[in-house]
Structure 1
Amino acid sequence: MIPFSPPYIDDDIIKEVADTLQSGWITTGPKTKLLEEEIAAYCTVEKALAVNSATSAMMLVLHWFGITRGDEVIVPAYTYCATALAAMHIGAKPVMVDVGDDFNIDPEKIKAAITAKTKAIITVDFGGWPCDYEKIYALLKSADVKSKFTASNEKQQQLGRIMIMSDAAHALGAVYNNLPVGKCADITIFSLHAVKNVTSAEGGVIAFNMPAPFSNEAIYSTMRLWSLNGQTKDAFTKSAAGGWEYDIVYPGFKMNMPDVLAAMGLAQFRAYKKNLLAERKRVFDFYNEAFALHEWAILPPFKKTGSGSSYHLYPLRIKDINEEKRNAVIERIAAKGVAVNVHFKPLPMLTIFKEAGYRMADYPAAYKMYCNEISLPVYPQLNNDTCKIVADAVCKAVDAVALK
């Protein structure tokens, strides 16, 4: 069996986690702080906050911006459910927009979705490929779109426009117009879930890049406090001799990341910067070279001067094939012992959104991308011989199904 996305665990990761276990301190403390600092430096932002998941991170940011019942948050129709659920969890309505041929939200289609109720847009860097932030910012800063924006609180008034929050769950390590993802949107959310390029088993990181006159240091301090039940001292600080006294100054949440998970993420992130990202690119490039020989293959459109993917996914599309045949191809690949996946079922295909009135027919591009897409394994442990087994299994499956 060739699994789809096993975690990368080496001796350095085991040692870092063991060091935390032996330290006597396993919840939020120095390792979490160090992970925050290293990711902030990598993204060239002042501050980053580690929390228990990317979903929690998105909820926390939307709540901080004062988004609530009656507000609208624009999301792509082609994404994982958490993007929309984060808005729903705080009472807002997700407004879906179709995607372009790079799997990302289509900037040309955003404008029609904006109303006076729109408070934020959650972009998604699909598979690790950055959205066109330049076009999206130009749209949101245009006079006619800004004139529609209705601020409901001081933060929204201070920004004076719709906030851009990037769901960069796939995109740690990606680059857009020579800027690291994390430095492209107002606020960026990374996922450290078990299947991501860098994992802490479960976790998320918020990178703060709000424009002046906002203080990203102050925003970090506020959200850190809110992620710890609104408590003025974290457990590590309280544990110091004589440091027991604290106060609760906000009805916050329990969203903090513990050190035992941060230790895993820290060691992973150091290896990622050193060679794991480059190894993912090697696998991605191998597939590109192998499938470029076949007329039926639509390669991922992840090329642009000054920009680069994090190579989280290899979303191969098969020309002139429907959903039923795509599924038949997957079955044949699986029979060869190769695990593949599909990213994603567009949101309107899921029961919770269908029951809320969203219609797949309104998002034809998303459905077109979905029905012929197969995500192939991409991770550092795959050597070139294994990549060839994957590619051969895909080609034979496609040939067998397409010739029927």
Structure 2
Amino acid sequence: MIPFSPPYIDEDIISEVTHTLQSGWITTGPKTKMLEDEIAAFCNVQKALAVNSATSAMMLVLHWYGVTRGDEVIVPAYTYCATALAAMHIGAKPVMVDAGSDFNINTQKIKAAITAKTKAIVAVDFGGWPCDYDAINAIVNDAGIRAIFKPAGEQQEKLGRILVMSDAAHAIGTVYNGRPLGRCADITVFSLHAVKNVTSAEGGVIVLNMPAPFNNEAVYKTLRLWSLNGQTKDAFTKSSAGGWEYDIVYPGFKMNMPDVLAAIGLAQFRKYKSALLAERKRVFDYYTRAFKNFAWAICPPFEKAGCSGSWHLYPLRIKGAGEKERNAIIEKIAAHEVAVNVHFKPLPMLSVFKERGYNIEDFPVAYELYCNEISLPVYPQLTDELCETVVKAVAESVTAVLPV
């Protein structure tokens, strides 16, 4: 059986976790700080904050920016539910925008979705391929768009425009126009969930790139405080001799990442930079070389000068297939003991959003991409021989279902 997305765990990762367990300190402490510092350096920014999930990270950022009930947050219609739920959890309304041909938000349709209630745009880097951040940043800095922005609260007054946040759950290591993701939006959120390129089992990282006059060190301290129930000392600091006394200065959340999980991410991230990302690209490129020879295969359009992805997904589309045929193909692939997936069911097709009036007919490109998409396994443990097994399973299954 070829699984879809097993975590990469080796002896170095096990050793790092064991060291943490033996240290006597397993919740937020030195390993978490080390992970934050390494990811910040990798993204060429000053500060990054590790929390318990990317969903929590997005909620924390939007809350810090003062997004609240009655506000609107623009999100792509083609993404995982967490992008929109993060806005809903703090009372805001997700305003959905259709996809472009690269699976990412169609930047040409963003401006029409902006109203005086819009406080943030959350762009999603689908499969690790970067959105057009230059276009998005040009929109929020447009004089006409800035003129209709109605700031509420200190942070919105200071920025004076719509916040741009990257939901880069898939995209650690992605480069956009020569810049690492983390330097392209005001704030970038990575996921360290179990199926992501770098994992801490569960976790997320907030990468801070707020422009002047913001001080990103100060923003980090605020977000960190709020992620620890608004407590002035974390548990590690409190545990020092005589260091018990603390105060609660904000009604915060419990969103911190513990050291025992940070240790997994830390050891894995060190190999990711030097080897694992390149191995993912090897698998991705193997598929492209193989599938470009089939007339029915639509390979992902992830190619542009100055840009490179994180190769998180290989979203293969099957020309001439609809949902019914695509699902039948997946069943036949499974019979070959190869696990594949679908990314994603567009938000308007999910009950929680349908019940709130969203309609997939308003997002035709998202549906067109979804209905014949099959995500193939991509991870470093896949040898070329296993990749060939995946290719054969897909090709035979397509042939069995579609007239080719």
- Please indicate the TM-score interval, normalised by the length of the shorter structure: over 0.9
**What is the deviation of 1:147?**
1.3
Find the counterpart in structure 1 of residue 178 from structure 2: 178
Indicate the residue corresponding to 1:71 in structure 2. 71
What is the correspondence of 1:197-276 to structure 2 with a 5 Å cutoff? 197-276=197-276
Q: Give the letter for the 1:123 counterpart.
A: A
Q: CA deviation at 1:367?
A: 0.2
Gaps in structure 1 of 5+ consecutive residues: none
Cα drift, residue 160 of structure 1: 1.0
Deviations 1:123-157 (A, max 9, x none): 00000000000011111111111111110112111
1:241-263 Cα shifts (integer Å, max 9, x gaps): 01000000000000000000000
Higher mean C-alpha deviation, range 150-159 or range 98-107: 150-159
Q: Structure 1 CA distance, aligned partners of 2:171 and 2:36?
A: 16
Deviations 1:362-388 (A, max 9, x none): 000000000010000000000000000
TM-aligned CA deviation for residue 395 of structure 1: 0.6
Deviates more, 1:282-291 or 1:149-158: 149-158
The answer as to 2:289 corresponding to 1:296 is no
Q: Normalising to structure 1: TM-score of the pair? A: 0.99
Q: Which residue of 2 aligns with 1:58?
A: 58
Q: TM-score by structure 2 length?
A: 0.99
State the identity %.
Answer: 74
Q: Which amino acid aligns with 2:66?
A: G
Aligned to 2:308: 308
Residues matched between the structures, number: 404
CA distance in 1, matches of 2:295, 2:151: 51
Q: Which residue of 2 is the match for residue 46 of structure 1?
A: 46
SS in structure 2 at match of 1:101: coil
Question: Which residue does 1:119 correspond to in 2?
Answer: 119
| 2:390 alignment partner in structure 1 | 390
Aligned partner letter, 1:143: A
Deviation string, structure 1 residues 320-370 (Cα, Å, up to 9, x no partner): 211110001101100100000000000000000000000000000000000
1:366 aligns with 2:366: yes
Tell me how far 1:51 sits from its aligned partner: 0.2
- Partner of 2:253: helix, strand, or coil? coil
Deviation digits for residues 44-78 of structure 1 (CA, Å, limit 9, x no counterpart): 00000000000000000000000000000000000
State the distance in 2 between where 1:148 and 1:355 align: 30
Instruction: Give how far 1:277 is off.
Output: 0.3
153-162 or 375-384, larger mean C-alpha shift: 153-162
Aligned to 1:25: 25
Map 1:76-115; keep pairs closer than 5 Å: 76-115=76-115
Q: In the alignment, what sits opposite 1:154?
A: 154
2:191 aligned partner: 191
Aligned equivalent of 2:9: 9
Q: Give the letter aligned to residue 118 of structure 1.
A: T
In 2, Cα distance between equivalents of 1:74 and 1:372: 26
- Aligned residue for 2:28, secondary structure, equals coil
> Once the two structures are superposed, what CA deviation does each residue of 1:206-231 show, in whole Å capped at 9, x if it has no partner?
00000000000000000000000000
Deviation string 1:98-125 (CA, Å, 9 cap, x unpaired) is 0100000000000111000000000000
3-state SS, counterpart of residue 121 of structure 1:
strand
Aligned residue runs from structure 1 range 320-399, under 5 A: 320-399=320-399
User: Equivalent residue of 1:146, what SS?
Assistant: helix
> After the TM superposition, which segments of 4 or more aligned residues of structure 1 sit over 2 Å from their partners?
none
User: How far apart, CA to CA, are the structure 2 residues paired with 1:248 and 1:89?
Assistant: 23
* Offset, 1:8: 0.4
**Segment drifting more, 244-253 vs 141-150:** 141-150
SS in structure 2 of the partner of residue 74 of structure 1: strand
Distance 1:231 1:138 in 2: 38
* CA distance in structure 1 between the aligned counterparts of 2:284 and 2:128, rounded to whole angstroms: 12
Query: Equivalents in 1 of 2:143, 2:373: separation in Å?
Result: 38
Instruction: State how far apart, in whole Å, the 1-side matches of 2:134 and 2:294 are.
Output: 34
Tell me the amino acid that sits aligned with residue 120 of structure 2. Answer: A
- Within 1, Cα distance between the matches of 2:107 and 2:137? 9
Cα offset for 1:158?
A: 1.1
For residue 36 of structure 1, report the CA deviation from its aligned partner.
Answer: 0.2
What is the CA–CA distance in structure 2 between the aligned matches of 1:258 and 1:155, rounded to whole Å?
29
- 1:236 is matched by which residue type in structure 2? F
Gaps in structure 2 of 5+ consecutive residues: none
Mapped partners of 1:320, 1:114: distance in 2: 35
Deviation at 1:400, TM superposition (A): 1.2
The aligned amino acid for 1:136 is: I
Question: Secondary structure of 2:104's partner?
Answer: coil
Question: d(CA) in 2 for partners of 1:300 and 1:148?
Answer: 37
Structure 2: distance between partners of 1:230 and 1:22: 29
d(CA) in 1 for partners of 2:138, 2:247: 43
Query: 2:146 is matched by which residue type in structure 1?
Result: K
